[in-house]
Amino acid sequence: MKIKPYSQNAYTPVPSAFTKFRRNCVIWQFFRFIVINIKMTVLILKSHH
């Protein structure tokens, strides 16, 4: 992907190579899977009245 100066995509952050690696790293994502599930469970518990 090439960024074209003064186009709409010239002003947005883009992930670094390390960030992209972490997004697909199975070991790291396994821990994120647990974290996301915990966050969602807490949200559900807070939401039922």
Interacting residues with another protein (CB under 8 A): 1, 3, 8-9, 12-15, 22-26, 29-30, 32-33, 36-37, 39-44, 46-49
- Minimum gap (Å) between residue 22 Cβ and another protein: 7
Based on CB atoms, which residue is closest to another protein, 6 or 24? 24
> What secondary structure does DSSP assign to the chain, as a single string?
--PPTTSGGGGS----HHHHHHHH-HHHHHHHHHHHHHHHHHHHHHH--
Nearer CB in complex with another protein: 6/8: 8
C-beta of residue 10 within 8 angstroms of C-beta of residue 3: yes
